[in-house]
Amino acid sequence: MLKVQVLNNISSLGLDKFSRDVYDVTEKDNNPDAILVRSAKMHELEIGENLKAVGRAGAGVNNIPLEKMSDKGVVVFNTPGANANAVKELVISSMLLASRNICQAWSYVNNLPLENLKATVEDGKKQYSGSELPGKTLGIVGLGSIGVEIANAAYTLGMDVIGFDPSITKKNAWKISSEVEDAATLEELFSKSDFVSFHVPLIDETKNLLNANRIAFLPEGSVIINMSRDGIVDEDALIKALDSGKVKYYVTDFPINDKKNHDKVIALPHLGASTSEAEDNCAVMIAKQIKDYLENGNIVNSVNFPDARMPRDGKERLAITHRNIPNMVRQITKAIAEEEANILDMINKSRGDFAYTLIDLENKISNTAIENIKQVEGILTVRSI
């Protein structure tokens, strides 16, 4: 049986996709074929020799040691777009919280004495007068599945929208409204935006993406929204901007130390994808992707290996992870040719330093031939499916 280890609570709608006559799904470390994870930190986790795939039921993969997994030929999957609606709704809510001073007004009313309450409310409400969203400009940094949904929703609310993403995919470019303006630089986006929302992964290039230099480009009284990752915003620089009035509010899903207590910080407890619908969507999506990889070798939504899908043909399929170096395909097919086996179909894809090859054979080949492929320099894993 194929073993799947679950590190966090994963929706039963997803786990039910693994038929129990084929899969053993458990929380125990039993040298699994695959691991399903949400937020559990895996950097210190021992990687068993049997591990073939890791499925992150969500988008971010900072809790997974990608380099270590890649070196061992372990394919890491995520679920882009499965929680997009949940995050979109939270970003729209964040703009409303900030534009209408809702959190501050709520706190004000909660702390009022009951004596003369109605009159006191009327006297104090002026200090919480806000503004409406139509006509304001939302700048979106990162136009992946989430960023695109937010852009389209904000436009339907009557906002002007400007986005920045030099690596936007063709799929997402087709989905985004033609009314969304394309910023040439981050500085251009910041200079035009009343609200800025971040939707990028935390990598070296995005660390402190909003810093003191870029804060200077923001219009007076702008609002910063970070539902992406802790570390995207230089919070020390931002607190200074909040104190000076340059920035009106900072809405973040990642409370950090005592900054959460600043009267212009609206800190939420990582609610971005915390809806039952999003958790179900992520669980079902990751289960299907892991199953397809284990059973058919197809890769969809991997973060460390290239996507590769091929209809099944023949009696045996070889799924091979390897380094992206010259002469790999020739050496693999040579080992097959020495068996006088006929290749019916083949696909080879690369991504950075790593590559993936799927081969369908007319007939099964010997274990010796498979072992010969494994001995080729640069080969990471070989599976016969």
CATH topology assigned to domain 310-385:
Alpha-Beta Plaits (3.30.70)
Q: What is the pLDDT of residue 245?
A: 95
Q: Which class would CATH give 84-267?
A: alpha beta
- Intervals of CATH 3.30.70.260 along the chain: 310-385
Q: Give dist(CA 288, CA 299) in Å, integer.
A: 11
Beta-carbon contacts of 150 under 8 Å, excluding residues fewer than 6 positions away, are 87, 88, 91, 92, 138, 140, 197, 199
Question: What's the token pair of residue 282?
Answer: 């992520």
Burial class from Cβ neighbours inside 10 Å (0-12, 13-18, 19+) for residue 279 reads: buried
Q: What is the pLDDT of residue 201?
A: 86
pLDDT tens per residue across span 114-150? 888 888 888 888 889 999 999 999 999 999 999 999 9
Per-chain mean pLDDT for the chain: 94
Polymer length of the chain: 385
Pairing state of beta strands 137-141 and 160-164? parallel
Q: What is the pLDDT of residue 120?
A: 84
Q: What is the pLDDT of residue 320?
A: 98
pLDDT tens per residue across span 139-189? 999 999 999 999 999 999 999 999 999 989 888 999 999 999 999 999 999
- Intervals of CATH 3.40.50.720 along the chain: 1-82+275-304, 84-267
Q: Give dist(CA 331, CA 346) in Å, integer.
A: 14
CATH topology assigned to domain 1-82+275-304:
Rossmann fold (3.40.50)
Q: Which residues of the chain have pLDDT under 70?
A: none
